[in-house]
């Protein structure tokens, strides 16, 4: 995607928002832009962080693999090492920063938005980027003002985060009274780990729409829209469960349903 031309720059700029980078694919974001975002983020790390390493995670959106490949290429070409923890919910990215003692992290996600969206949540120096800090990344891209690294970064994989996460929450959370719960993963990325988590606590549970599918075939991944809660409301009542939990696409927000199938606002 060429960034020449005012109209194209304006389209790209709109994807740089208050708390993340997010837009429609391929109209606002694509592989070429993600490569340049990778170089821009790497430039910021090279100039401001003592640690030249970053953790990368993504949700289950269909555009995720291609965008991640381009993002990683931009980071590596600008001298940043990569720890790839795979397809996991956003909270596990933040947990991995704590667990692995790494200061920088990226979550490739469209969050609760429709399937044609994707984006990036950014942590640098243990701080989530927002507002002008995100716009400075755009300015770096606009001006092609990238750090010139003499060495390329390297990539490694870490597939131990889920086990460590489950062990951590089992040591900090105690469920004294047994109950029954229905979980709607909404075909989002939480479906990758929800069964393992609830099995670890020996909770009586039923999971619906567990399969991770970036087409979101059952309903959009936004539980704040009550139209997307029809299935879980019915399931809670039908199974006589005490609680329902509906996740958004990347698992960083939930809506709770009571035993009567009503939303707990």
Tokens 């709109």, residue located: 14
Active-site choice (111, 149, 224, 241): 111
DSSP 112-137: TS-TTEEEEEEEETTEE--THHHHHH
Three state DSSP letters for 26-71: CCCCCHHHHHHHHHHHHHHHHHHCCCCEEEEEECCCCCHHHHHHHH
239, 182 Cβ separation under 8 angstroms: yes
Nearest CA to 76 out of 97, 54, 93 is that of 54
Alpha-carbon distance 136 to 227, whole Å? 38
Active site residue 144: no
Active site residues: 111
């Amino acid at each position: 995607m060429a960034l020449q031309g005012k109209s194209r720059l304006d389209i790209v700029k709109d994807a740089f928002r208050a708390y993340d980078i997010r837009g429609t694919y391929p109209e606002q974001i694509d592989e070429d832009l993600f490569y340049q975002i990778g170089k821009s983020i790497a430039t910021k790390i090279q100039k401001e962080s003592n640690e030249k390493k970053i953790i990368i995670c993504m949700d289950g959106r269909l555009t995720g693999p291609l965008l991640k490949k381009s993002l990683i290429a931009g980071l590596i070409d600008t001298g940043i090492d990569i720890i790839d923890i795979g397809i996991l919910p956003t909270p596990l990215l933040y947990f991995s920063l704590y667990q692995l003692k790494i200061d920088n992290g990226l979550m490739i996600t469209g969050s609760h938005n429709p399937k044609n969206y994707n984006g990036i949540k950014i942590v640098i120096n243990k701080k989530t980027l927002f507002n002008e800090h995100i716009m400075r990344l755009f300015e770096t891209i606009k001006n092609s003002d990238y750090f010139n690294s003499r060495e390329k970064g390297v990539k490694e994989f870490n597939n131990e985060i889920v086990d460590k996460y489950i062990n951590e929450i089992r040591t900090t959370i105690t469920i004294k009274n047994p109950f029954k719960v229905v979980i709607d993963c909404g075909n989002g990325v939480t479906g990758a780990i929800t069964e393992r988590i609830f099995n670890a606590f020996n909770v009586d549970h039923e999971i619906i729409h567990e399969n991770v599918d970036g087409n979101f075939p059952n309903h959009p991944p936004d539980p704040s829209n009550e139209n997307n809660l029809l299935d879980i409301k019915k399931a809670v009542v039908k199974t006589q469960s005490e609680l329902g939990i509906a996740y958004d696409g990347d698992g960083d927000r939930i809506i709770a349903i009571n035993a009567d199938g009503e939303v707990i606002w």
